[in-house]
Amino acid sequence: MQSERYFIGLDLGGTAIKFGICSKQGEIVQEFQQPTRADKPVKTILEDLAHAIQTAQEFAKQHQLPVAAVGMGTPGSVDVECGYLRGNTPNFKHWKDVKIKQYLEEKSQLPLWVDNDANMMAFGEATFGAGKGFSHVVCVTLGTGIGGGIIVDKELFRGSNYAGGEIGHMSIKFDGEPCRCGGIGCWELYASATAMIKNYHLKSGDTSIRSTKEIFEKYYNNETIAREVVEQEIEMAAVGVANILNIFNPQMVIIGGGVSESGDWFIEQIATEAKKRAMLPSSEGVKIVRAKLGNSAGWLGAAAFACHRLEE
């Protein structure tokens, strides 16, 4: 009888390294967290990551869990085949041009795969979360910005140069605001949590509001401005989702991030609006649902990805 194999996943974030051990089916055995020293040199961050893997390996050893491979998500553009991080990681001071796979495989003595963190999160939701059992899934994270990942036929879509899938930077307003990416009128400028808060500030003049949660509370209390802001958010989110439906014709769109925590009713309204705008038959039968894995999606996705690659 072949014994169950386990996987370690890591999610390198701007403030914390979230990591854990899970089974092949995505059952969480143990979760860990340690702070990220984002302003430190590359070597320090690599050592911290190696330490995280070691922590998980020791736990696995104590509990007699055979670990088969490690997966990791990092901000930035990653050459997945050689596990090389090119760069573009604004929250980190020096984190670019790093041979992540080479260093961590040597330290851990385990096969290891690295990809972009948004891709890993999407892969986690598609494999173990809301998208379990589906082959064509697009994940959208409505957070500080808008991130996401595209899964076509069970594989992540990355483009020719590992730079694709930047759904937050599709332009929805040709003469809109300039974006940090160099584009104009990008979706995230209108439908992210940041955009929603900014919209509330503009409409109300009250800049003490710091979270979308506060805006939703005011919405539930029937405050006129909060209602306008939430309605506009639904419209703006739906515009982008409709574009996604027309281009990718997915079976499912999974919406996560801070804004989605307001509840299923909010996702349902985005779905209704998006379907009105999208073409048939892409708008027919598509499921538009809320993400399930929360903060664990990143490391779970990385673990799922390692399992997926190992089996190839």
Strand stretches in the chain, DSSP E? 6-12, 16-23, 28-35, 67-74, 77-79, 84-87, 98-99, 112-116, 137-142, 146-152, 155-156, 252-256, 287-290
Is the CB of 29 or the CB of 181 nearer to Zn ion?
Answer: 181
Q: Cα dist. 214→131, 199, 207, 268 in Å?
A: 29, 13, 12, 20
Count of residues near Zn ion by CB under 5 A: 5
Binding mask 117-146 for Zn ion (x = CB under 5 A): ------------------------------
Is the CB of 14 or the CB of 185 nearer to Zn ion?
Answer: 185
Binding of Zn ion by 186 (CB under 5 A) = yes
Query: Shortest approach of Zn ion to residue 179 CB, angstroms?
Result: 3
Query: Shortest approach of Zn ion to residue 187 CB, angstroms?
Result: 8
3-class secondary structure, 20: strand
Binding of Zn ion by 169 (CB under 5 A) = yes
Part in contact with Zn ion (CB under 5 A); list of ranges 70-78, 81-89, 180-188, 241-249: 180-188
Structure tokens at 129: 């979360």
What are the strands of the beta sheet with 77-79, ordered from one edge?
Answer: 77-79, 84-87, 98-99
- Beta-carbon contacts of 136 under 8 Å, excluding residues fewer than 6 positions away, are 151, 152, 153, 248, 249, 250, 251, 252
- Interaction residues for Zn ion, span 250-279 (CB under 5 A): none
3-class secondary structure, 9: strand
* Cβ proximity of 18 and 53 under 8 Å: no
Binding of Zn ion by 191 (CB under 5 A) = no
Binding of Zn ion by 181 (CB under 5 A) = yes
Binding of Zn ion by 195 (CB under 5 A) = no
Instruction: Tell me how far apart the alpha carbons of residues 142 and 193 are, in angstroms, rounded to a whole number.
Output: 6
Structure tokens at 32: 């860990």
Is the CB of 29 or the CB of 170 nearer to Zn ion?
Answer: 170
Instruction: Give the other-Cβ count within 10 Å of 293's Cβ.
Output: 21
What crossing angle do the helices spanning 212-220 and 193-204 adopt, rounded to 10°?
60
Query: Shortest approach of Zn ion to residue 181 CB, angstroms?
Result: 3
Binding of Zn ion by 172 (CB under 5 A) = no
Binding of Zn ion by 303 (CB under 5 A) = no
Q: Is the dihedral of CA 225, 230, 231, 236 positive or negative?
A: positive
Binding of Zn ion by 179 (CB under 5 A) = yes
Part in contact with Zn ion (CB under 5 A); list of ranges 44-52, 98-106, 186-194, 298-306: 186-194
Binding of Zn ion by 192 (CB under 5 A) = no
Is the CB of 182 or the CB of 285 nearer to Zn ion?
Answer: 182
Part in contact with Zn ion (CB under 5 A); list of ranges 175-183, 231-239, 275-283, 301-309: 175-183
Structure tokens at 232: 């506009």
Query: Shortest approach of Zn ion to residue 298 CB, angstroms?
Result: 22
Is the CB of 145 or the CB of 256 nearer to Zn ion?
Answer: 145
Query: Shortest approach of Zn ion to residue 184 CB, angstroms?
Result: 8
Instruction: Tell me how far apart the alpha carbons of residues 113 and 70 are, in angstroms, rounded to a whole number.
Output: 7
Query: Shortest approach of Zn ion to residue 18 CB, angstroms?
Result: 26
Is the CB of 58 or the CB of 177 nearer to Zn ion?
Answer: 177
Note the residues at the interface with Zn ion (CB under 5 A): 169, 179, 181, 183, 186
